[in-house]
Amino acid sequence: MRTLRITVAYDGTDFSGWQVQPTQPTVQSAIEGALREIEGKPVKIEGSGRTDAGVHALGQMASFRLENPIPPQNLKKALNRLLPPTVRVYNVSEVPAGFHARHSATAKTYEYRIQRAETCPPFEQRYTYWHPFRLDEPAMIAAAPFFEGERDFRSLASNDRAAQMAEIAKTTVRTIYSSRLSRDGDLLIYRVRGSGFLYHMVRNIVGTLLEVGRGHLSPTDITAILDARDRAAAGPMVAARGLFLVEVEYEN
Amino acid sequence: MRTLRITVAYDGTDFSGWQVQPTQPTVQSAIEGALREIEGKPVKIEGSGRTDAGVHALGQMASFRLENPIPPQNLKKALNRLLPPTVRVYNVSEVPAGFHARHSATAKTYEYRIQRAETCPPFEQRYTYWHPFRLDEPAMIAAAPFFEGERDFRSLASNDRAAQMAEIAKTTVRTIYSSRLSRDGDLLIYRVRGSGFLYHMVRNIVGTLLEVGRGHLSPTDITAILDARDRAAAGPMVAARGLFLVEVEYEN
| pLDDT recorded at residue B108 | 98
Using one digit for the tens of pLDDT, what is the confidence trace for B58-100? Answer: 999 999 999 999 999 999 999 999 999 999 999 999 999 999 9
DSSP secondary structure letters along A41-61: S----EESS---TT-EEEEEE
| pLDDT recorded at residue A25 | 96
> Partners of A92 in the beta sheet?
A6
Residue closest to A243 by CA, chosen among A84, A83, A112: A112
| pLDDT recorded at residue B113 | 98
| pLDDT recorded at residue B147 | 98
Q: Which of B87, B88, B122 sits opposite A85 (nearest CB)?
A: B122
Q: How confident is the model at residue A168 (pLDDT cuts 50, 70, 90)?
A: confident
Residues of B in Cβ contact (< 8 Å) with A9: 121-123
Residues of A in Cβ contact (< 8 Å) with B119: 80, 88-90
Minimal C-alpha gap between B122 and chain A (Å): 5
Residue closest to B194 by CA, chosen among B107, B103, B105: B107
Q: Indicate yes or no: CB of B87 within 8 angstroms of CB of A9.
A: no
Using one digit for the tens of pLDDT, what is the confidence trace for A138-163? Answer: 999 999 999 999 999 999 999 888 88
Is B221 in the active site? no
CA distance B91 to B77: 10
Tell me if domain A2-95 and domain A106-250 are identical in fold.
yes
CA distance B82 to B30: 9
| pLDDT recorded at residue B33 | 97
Q: Which of B11, B14, B52, B221 is catalytic?
A: B52
User: What would the CATH number be for the domain defined by A2-95?
Assistant: 3.30.70.580
What are the residue ranges spanned by the domains of chain B?
Answer: 2-95, 106-250
* Domain A106-250 coded CATH 3.30.70.660: yes
DSSP secondary structure letters along B15-35: SS-SS--SSS--HHHHHHHHH
CB-based contact, B9 to chain A, within 8 Å? yes
CB-based contact, A82 to chain B, within 8 Å? no
The pTM score is 0.93
CB-based contact, A88 to chain B, within 8 Å? yes
Residues of B in Cβ contact (< 8 Å) with A80: 119
Taking all residues of chain B, what is their mean pLDDT, rounded to a whole number? 96
CA distance B223 to B151: 10
Residues of A in Cβ contact (< 8 Å) with B81: none
